[in-house]
Structure 1
């Protein structure tokens, strides 16, 4: 039995989430990520530790600075209390709990304890992952999770290292491993203009997904909502000048993947 008093670091909990798996869900965001994707809209998720940043407030025409804490230490029991607040919505919609990040597998013991507690309460679970995890850790989690949302950003390894900071070999191997274990898995492609939506990457992604019968694709359009977070964190924002893909472009990409007979949605 896992300790319900085991602690992890969470940077957000989102209730009534409708794009993080089936039905209405509660999404728990774990802090810490081994990737450094230049378009990341949650840069506060990268460091595994709790951070303090400066937040500017304006009152009566004057500016003030105050400290804002990013990340919170929570026990398994405390997180489960949050998840159980929405039990009625899960039952009515076929929803449940989604564990996201950052990268959830960086806090694997915390994750496993939460998955076990969800199983005890018959709560459906979904893991949203970058896939950058050891096979051993993945083996311990697969029996406990109902489904996976799996980011496949770039198929070319050199490009993946350039834009995400790590090789994708382990990532693609883990996608294959999860599928081979019979788990429900969706491929998620962030649509980053000029980077992930190139003709080459789209073709390679379609060819990769086509290997797995029944796997569907979620297209996640790039947006700028994280830009101000970089300034607060003292980080360089490398996406200036990059615009969000238009609705027409997103529909074009849906048609592209459906041309490979892959069911594709926008936004998950």
Structure 2
């Protein structure tokens, strides 16, 4: 049997000193792969299950001053354009030859193989912050539980090392994946985006039946697991009192609940990947969040997960 410490997963970012995804100060580990295609996704680099080449032109030295990537690219995906470099994503084969020679990291790769030991050794270097704040490690993505073997091994070894654990999940996968991970969690953060299956499919690419069922089952099977349900409030999708009230009606007992305001922080990454942001004209009315938060408060739900 493979030792948990040697298990490898595909990670695209490790973010330290986060305070929004679980208790205390935390390290967030972002894993590649997701079964949903949410129009507002702030981590488009997380969606595919393979390493992905990206180009940030603001870091580029230029075709004339450098041009190393142009010489390295075997597929013609990179070409000179008015002294700069142009990236044609449809021609890219993700060979990463340009990434290896780029001195400014304008050419980058989203996705790197890391072992459980590599991640937890880095996490433990900040152990003093976790012990004082009650923090730990949170797996996110993408959808961390799509890489089930790696995520379970990482959570299991973290608990063995007395590191607090959390997973932020979209809930879209066979329940057995969540069932395997739950015993090694201190907190489960579960996204519930919409109560209506048809609307959910239009905006995310999939119905929500499995998601709702998984939330109900994990609450029933693990009654002592603290669960926080979160809803990102998206303009034109779920930004009415009726939308949020319908979600509240589907929540199992003893779950915390929290609304997250829509933001566009992931917008530049779509350009780096040669993609168009689907909600580029969307704007959340500033009066929406106070109204919806008041609705949640009247429901008696709080953002503090309980069990």
TM-score (norm 1): 0.92
Q: Point out where structure 2 has 5 or more consecutive residues left out of the alignment.
A: 66-82, 87-105
1:9 aligns with 10
- Cα distance, 1:264 vs. partner? 4.5
Matched, 1:220 2:260: yes
Alignment size in residue pairs? 262
Give the CA deviation at 1:59.
5.3
Query: Does the residue aligned with 1:102 lie in a helix, a strand or coil?
Result: coil
Q: Which has the larger radius of gyration?
A: 2
1:81-124 CA-to-partner distances (Å, cap 9, x unmatched) read 12112111111011111001100111000001111111111111
| Secondary structure, aligned partner of 1:4 | helix
Is residue 299 of structure 2 the alignment partner of residue 257 of structure 1? no
How far does residue 132 in structure 1 lie from its aligned partner after superposition? 1.1
Q: How much does 1:227 deviate?
A: 1.4
Partner of 1:97: 137
| Contact 2:8–2:116 under 8 Å retained in 1 | yes
8 A contact 1:23–1:96 mirrored in 2: yes
Asked if 1:147 is matched to 2:148, the reply is no
Residue in structure 1 matched with residue 32 of structure 2 by the alignment: 31
Is 1:179 the counterpart of 2:180? The answer is no
**Larger relative strand fraction:** 1
Q: Give the structure 2 partner of residue 159 of structure 1.
A: 199
TM-score by length of 2: 0.81
- Name the counterpart of 2:52: 51
CA–CA distance in structure 2, aligned partners of residues 85 and 245 of structure 1: 42
Q: Secondary structure at the match of 2:55?
A: strand
Q: RMSD across aligned C-alpha pairs, in angstroms?
A: 1.9
Residue ranges of structure 1 left out of the alignment (5+ in a row): none
Task: Give distance in 2, aligned partners of 1:260 and 1:91.
Answer: 34
Structure 2 residue aligned with 1:86, among 126, 142, 148? 126
CA distance in 2, matches of 1:112, 1:45: 19
